[in-house]
């Protein structure tokens, strides 16, 4: 048996209405609620369930980002993770850099599984899991809605455009989570107290031997999306049909 690594990203909470700053330099983050990326919460829940079935030795949660991401790692520890590592980086982290960080940690911890969210709800890139699998030269099972472990193999059901696809992969492997994989547990108060005693280490890219990219993809500006305006209201099906005909849609 071996550990499971889980990625935890600190993002603007999904319920916050994100607004672009007037100067186009980013989005408003002052006083905005921050949370664990929802897909990462699902990843952690899946890892915890595997450990609870005695199929993993421990669950290690890893975040790459600002000092404040320790809050999200503490939440992950309260959910049940055994220990946490923050790779402290100021400023945005490109998915390729994140994958290089995970590769270093995979070489150190020799996990059977790395479970990541299929995407983070801030940059919506959806790349890190696939990139890690490429660098690690191991299988990837993206958009997982069901994960069944069978010794040195896993059978994964994936949510794809055509419906559901099932693949079989050898372990170790990277799995990325879709919404319907599980429903993450709620945290109980005693767990929050217990989490304060669990180990949370902090390291840096330099300590891990990951180079800071000098020539990545640069974000030049942020803009608010074009808005649609409210249209006409009709009072019954017949009027609706007439309005559709008037617009030339039918």
Partner 1 sequence: MNRALVIAEHSLGKLNASTAKCVSCVQGIGEVEIDIAVLAADAGALAAEAAALGGVRRVLTLERPENVEALAAVWAPQLAALAGGYTHLFGPSTTFGKDLMPRIAALLGVGQISDVMAVDSAYRFRRPVYASNAIITVEAPAGSIVVATVRTASFQPAAGGGQAPIEALAVTATLPTHTRFVSRSAANADRPDLQTAARVVSGGRALASAENFKLLYQLADALGAAVGASRAAVDAGYAANELQVGQTGKIIAPQLYMALGISGAIQHLTGIKDARTIVAVNKDSEAPIFEVADIGLVGDLFTIVPELERLIRARQ
**Residue (83 or 146) nearer to partner 1, CB:** 146
Q: Please tell me the distance from the alpha carbon of residue 89 to that of residue 86, in angstroms, as a whole number.
A: 9
Which of 1, 162, 189, 211 forms a contact with partner 1 (CB under 8 A)? 162
Query: Between 168 and 201, whose beta carbon lies closer to partner 1?
Result: 168
Binding to partner 1 in span 197-236, by CB under 8 A: 213, 215-225, 228, 230-236
- Is residue 2 close enough to count as binding partner 1 by CB under 8 A? no
Question: Do residues 182 and 45 lie in contact, with contact meaning Cβ atoms separated by under 8 Å?
Answer: yes
Beta strands per DSSP E along 66-129: 83-88, 113-117
Q: Dig out the tokens for 53 from the structure.
A: 């079935």
Among 137, 63, 74, 72, residue whose Cα is nearest residue 101: 63
Return the residues of window 54-113 that contact partner 1 according to CB under 8 A.
94-96, 99
Please select the residue that binds partner 1; options are 83, 104, 138, 198, rule is CB under 8 A.
138
Number of residues that bind partner 1 (CB under 8 A): 81
Distance spanning both ends of the chain, measured CA to CA: 61
Shortest spacing between CB 222 and partner 1, in angstroms: 5
Kindly indicate which of the ranges 54-62, 82-90, 152-160, 203-211 contains the residues binding partner 1, using the contact rule CB under 8 A. 152-160
- The only residue of 4, 56, 133, 195 in contact with partner 1, by rule CB under 8 A: 133
CA distances from 86 to 10, 68, 180, 244 (A): 11, 10, 28, 55
| ∠ CA 155-156-162, rounded to 5° | 130
Q: In the range 11-50, which residues lie near partner 1 by CB under 8 A?
A: 12, 17-20, 27
């Amino acid at each position: 048996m071996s550990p499971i690594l889980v990625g935890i990203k600190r993002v603007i909470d999904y319920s916050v209405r994100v607004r672009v700053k007037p100067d186009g330099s980013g989005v408003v983050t002052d006083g905005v609620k921050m949370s664990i990326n929802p897909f990462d919460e699902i990843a952690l829940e899946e890892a915890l369930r595997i450990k609870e079935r005695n199929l993993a030795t421990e669950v290690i949660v890893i975040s790459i980002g600002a000092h404040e991401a320790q809050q999200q790692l503490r939440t992950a520890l309260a959910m049940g993770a055994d220990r946490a590592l923050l790779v402290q980086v100021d400023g945005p982290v490109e998915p390729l850099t994140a994958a290089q960080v995970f590769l270093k940690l995979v070489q150190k911890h020799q996990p059977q599984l790395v479970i990541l969210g299929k995407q983070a709800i801030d940059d919506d890139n959806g790349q890190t899991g696939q990139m890690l699998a490429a660098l690690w030269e191991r299988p990837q099972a993206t958009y997982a809605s069901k994960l069944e472990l069978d010794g040195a193999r896993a059978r994964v059901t994936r949510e794809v455009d055509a419906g559901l696809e099932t693949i079989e992969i050898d372990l170790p492997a990277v799995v990325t989570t879709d919404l319907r994989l599980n429903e993450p547990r709620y945290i109980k108060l005693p767990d929050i107290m217990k989490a304060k005693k669990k180990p949370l280490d902090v390291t840096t890219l330099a300590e891990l031997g990951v180079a800071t990219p000098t020539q990545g993809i640069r974000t030049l500006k942020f803009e608010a999306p074009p808005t649609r305006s409210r249209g006409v209201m009709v009072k019954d099906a017949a009027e609706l049909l007439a309005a559709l005909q008037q617009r030339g849609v039918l």
